[in-house]
Structure 1
């Protein structure tokens, strides 16, 4: 009996152990599936259920602190690693093994495994899925910004030591060679003090003592080698501890001459350069190297150091030690920052800057006044206006524009999800393809006038092509549905707007439906303000220009429903927009007004500003802190601005335009947060 009772007890214990193991396996499986869904939803990574040579490893990436060296050690225990791909700022990695069996062995051993990040002391759990292929861009290194050079080993370690020792951070606190401890770094000025309140120097108040004596020989060397044309008379010394940085900025044009040189001492670091079109280049600045900025790189590109304790760099000793960091994404790793000191030399400018970049030049502000275009009076003028103030603008701002397009609008999503499975849908004016992937049960194709926006769709693996909304190269009657979101208001005459709606109807089969959104002149409807009017920071994504600090879809002040402006709108419907010659009726003042953001619309036909790289909302308006540091005088007065043509629709105008077509009927007409919207059906 005793033996029997003992066996029963052991069986119970074994059963409990099995339950615990099964419970853990189920937990890992749930999190693995959740990781799979997250990867697909946010990154577009397709995981598969069958074993392959390639794996995607969630929670093991440069973005969450996993170094290449540590991950390789873990992975190589299970077989030959052919490729390890670690993308900048991503919390996952791809690995390809020599055989499927090795990949399966790693999958079985590592899925749900807890590891400790070496440099962070933090425990993480790996979640692994199979993928068919490991994709990477093995492109040649991106070229440096024009006018930028990095010269390695410009000084010896002995010279570096002497230059660092010449800076007394404590001993001369009482002198006029002021030391400042800024929020993100420690700084000291020589020759002239740089004033951060106006990003300039007082040219009438040089600091006593000039530049440190030890800098003389170094600057003579730079002059002799041709790195600079003018001998600097101003020096800023910055000391950065790990985790510190400097915001993106352009050194004030009126303050300094063309050449700016910066010596990196004590440690290497990655500096980020950004063009106004959004293009970025990460540059490694090795220890004892000299950064030379002239021309475009000095006047147009912002440069800054992101505050962080680790940089993403090339892992291979054989790889380039200087240059762009993303030359080969198969060879990236993390590098712990150390204390770095920079010596930045400049020559104080004594005359106004006359560079070729007036829209970012404080010396030339106000000199380049754009002549406002006139309201178009015929088809040719309308086409030219749209080419200049719609097509060209979206090509210029495409990258930035796309970065503000994140959240789909609920009623548009509802329309797409209500369509039958397998429906063929055309998104005419698809932009960056925000709606092309909403409903996987539909076959959606997009088109847009902007080649750059269509390229962005292609990068997301969406089907899209370039065309004009007035002539879409799709067979008549071949679509079950169409959407046109924030497109028709860019056409500058009533005839062209009507022709666009007629083109949408042509694409539809009988019984097919189309959803159209256009900007509304009324920003308050039925005594209720648009929610975007309430959000003063404009931080939510909106179908048109909702992003912090950009020129946004301009909410209006309160407009009572009975206002004279509404009355004027309601009288100016389709039948009233033609003159005897068949052209559009011009506005009272033939010059198109430039709209002031977040104010009432005073004209239906306006130019709406887009500030290319918006920063933060400041008292007095949107400021461009990508080009000038927040708080500076320049940041409140200068920003690259593009103007886009809009015809804002009055209540009933879009519906009346649709009803004028015999081939469609209006199913629904409604107002949605500053937009007039119509659902029409092909008869």
Structure 2
């Protein structure tokens, strides 16, 4: 094909691709050269990687940035100069076969690179991570590598070969058997490392991993109860990029012969992973770079933890989870008594003052019931669904008594408030409802069973609701959700501010993140109001209304916030629920 026909073909194809590019990413194509290029017909969704882009385009000049957008079949790169971008465009457009099925990539100048919420961070380290470059010499590297000539006696894993000293780390249970030390201890040749570090740390467990190019490790956090803090990882024979992730992703280059000290927050609260690939891509302060991985050998040194972990990072702590499992029926009763029942007695009046407007979905549910239906409100609080519901039905059908409604709550003071408003109320516990089988046509339980401390008790409450429902009866149950983000949209709970939130005075924004011992050595974290939930079992503050805010009393209510699908799974355990 002559050059004229080739240019005509590429230009025609680019018009369509540029339109799609703008529609999907907002990137604006430029008819004049810029330092920014778009790869219009291949991206992350087609298997393109940053390293592939750098390897293909670095020959034309220093790269400043490379951008892949998740789920899109396009990519972007930015040179330090327009001259370099022009050289790349003229030489590679329609000729560079990096698109799917080795087809050519089509390039376009763009005014700027689009914003991406999924950008990885390269210019800082996670809190608690230290990288010491050239920690060992080339001679020491060769000596250490000679200790691990992998033969048939080493374990072979899907992603790498591995050998243990001191204690075996069992990947099937993600822990060590602390009572079964290995006969092979950490080689004495490693002693020089501790003297060089000059810290009070002497490991007794070593894992040597042998990674071939293209191999990696899945994202994980080293088991809290297995090892002390810190964990040391020495990279030999090849560099690698490791990804650390918490709420954001930080990419860190581990140079050959460097030592990574993983401590504190990074050790306990950030996952780390090595992406399986043969080329790595990374940023320096000046430009983008890539390199081909060689066989990498890592020496990971740890010290066995005697006893349980006592860290402050409970979300991923197996010792903390084990601690919560100790909450049996007796402890759960004590916890609920102190941090649910007693609290609502203390805050009943103030709580009622802040609970007036019914939730629309609940009212819509109540409207579906026919004349003569019996409705039960389990945990009715101040009875806000009773008065409002009665007005609706009396307006629709002139003062005919359509529905008999009865409510139940554990709080004596809230029940007194309901009785004062003329509602039919009784005192009871959702775990043992004082009602006959097949009594109700409908049940509502709004923000109640999340106050129960164990799965068994939450399941019991659902079973009781099922028991009092007639065949074909309906129940509407609300609980607090742990995830406060859906479809990239923050929940009302997170978004509410002082302008649109009437209950500000009683709720603490600046609550402590400390832990509180509740019953028999069990401790729970204190949640910060109007923020994401980091734990499933928490204490939520309520600040009692007072004229003197500095002297206002704070109460802590227990909540079990539900994971997505958790309530559905509980319901599936009850055969009568369909």
TM-score (norm 2): 0.57
Instruction: Write out per-residue CA displacement over residues 526-556 of structure 1, whole angstroms, 9 at most, x where no aligned residue.
Output: xxxxxxxxxxxxxxxxxxxxxxxxxxxxxxx
The residue aligned with 1:575 is: 389
Instruction: Write out per-residue CA displacement over residues 89-115 of structure 1, whole angstroms, 9 at most, x where no aligned residue.
Output: 785234469779x988976x4685212
CA gap 1:252/1:494 in 2 versus in 1, 3 angstroms: same
- Structure 1's unaligned 5+ residue stretches are 1-16, 174-178, 320-326, 385-492, 499-516, 526-560, 613-638, 647-683
CA gap 1:293/1:86 in 2 versus in 1, 3 angstroms: same
Once the 2 structures are TM-superposed, how far is the Cα of residue 136 of structure 1 from its aligned partner? 8.0
Q: 2:295 aligns with which of 339, 349, 353?
A: 339
Between 1 and 2, higher relative CO (CA 8 Å, sep ≥ 6) is seen in 1
Q: 1:605 aligns with which of 478, 501, 508?
A: 478
Q: 2:314 aligns with which of 336, 358, 373?
A: 358
Compute the RMSD of aligned alpha carbons: 4.9
Once the 2 structures are TM-superposed, how far is the Cα of residue 209 of structure 1 from its aligned partner? 2.8
Once the 2 structures are TM-superposed, how far is the Cα of residue 87 of structure 1 from its aligned partner? 2.4
Once the 2 structures are TM-superposed, how far is the Cα of residue 60 of structure 1 from its aligned partner? 7.9
Return the alpha-carbon distance in structure 2 between the equivalents of residues 38 and 70 of structure 1. 24
The residue aligned with 2:151 is: 170
The residue aligned with 2:108 is: 129
The residue aligned with 1:241 is: 212
Once the 2 structures are TM-superposed, how far is the Cα of residue 252 of structure 1 from its aligned partner? 1.2
The residue aligned with 1:285 is: 254
- Structure 2's unaligned 5+ residue stretches are 328-334, 378-384, 393-417, 431-444, 467-473, 486-533, 538-559, 564-578
TM-score (norm 1): 0.49
Classify the secondary structure of the residue corresponding to 1:170: coil
Structure 2 residue 14 is the aligned partner of structure 1 residue 28: no
Once the 2 structures are TM-superposed, how far is the Cα of residue 296 of structure 1 from its aligned partner? 1.3
Return the alpha-carbon distance in structure 1 between the equivalents of residues 42 and 134 of structure 2. 35
Structure 2 residue 183 is the aligned partner of structure 1 residue 196: no
Q: 1:271 aligns with which of 234, 242, 264?
A: 242
CA gap 1:160/1:106 in 2 versus in 1, 3 angstroms: closer
Structure 2 residue 348 is the aligned partner of structure 1 residue 381: no
The residue aligned with 2:157 is: 182
Return the alpha-carbon distance in structure 2 between the equivalents of residues 87 and 303 of structure 1. 22
The residue aligned with 2:131 is: 150
Once the 2 structures are TM-superposed, how far is the Cα of residue 145 of structure 1 from its aligned partner? 2.0
Instruction: Write out per-residue CA displacement over residues 23-75 of structure 1, whole angstroms, 9 at most, x where no aligned residue.
Output: x6665345323432443343332335x4353543315887265443642545x
CA gap 1:287/1:576 in 2 versus in 1, 3 angstroms: farther
Conserved? CA contact 2:42–2:100, under 8 Å: no
Return the alpha-carbon distance in structure 2 between the equivalents of residues 166 and 189 of structure 1. 12
Conserved? CA contact 2:281–2:290, under 8 Å: yes
1:561-572 alignment to 2 at 5 Å?
none
The residue aligned with 2:181 is: 206
Once the 2 structures are TM-superposed, how far is the Cα of residue 235 of structure 1 from its aligned partner? 0.6
Return the alpha-carbon distance in structure 2 between the equivalents of residues 380 and 110 of structure 1. 73
Return the alpha-carbon distance in structure 2 between the equivalents of residues 383 and 310 of structure 1. 62
CA gap 1:298/1:112 in 2 versus in 1, 3 angstroms: closer
Instruction: Write out per-residue CA displacement over residues 156-188 of structure 1, whole angstroms, 9 at most, x where no aligned residue.
Output: 1111101111113226x2xxxxx2110111101
The residue aligned with 1:495 is: 357
Conserved? CA contact 1:610–1:641, under 8 Å: no
CA gap 1:274/1:567 in 2 versus in 1, 3 angstroms: same
Conserved? CA contact 1:180–1:188, under 8 Å: yes
Once the 2 structures are TM-superposed, how far is the Cα of residue 363 of structure 1 from its aligned partner? 1.9
Conserved? CA contact 2:131–2:258, under 8 Å: yes
CA gap 1:198/1:272 in 2 versus in 1, 3 angstroms: same
Conserved? CA contact 2:27–2:112, under 8 Å: no
Conserved? CA contact 1:63–1:92, under 8 Å: no
1:8-19 alignment to 2 at 5 Å?
none
CA gap 1:205/1:566 in 2 versus in 1, 3 angstroms: farther
Conserved? CA contact 2:55–2:290, under 8 Å: no
Q: 2:227 aligns with which of 234, 253, 256?
A: 256
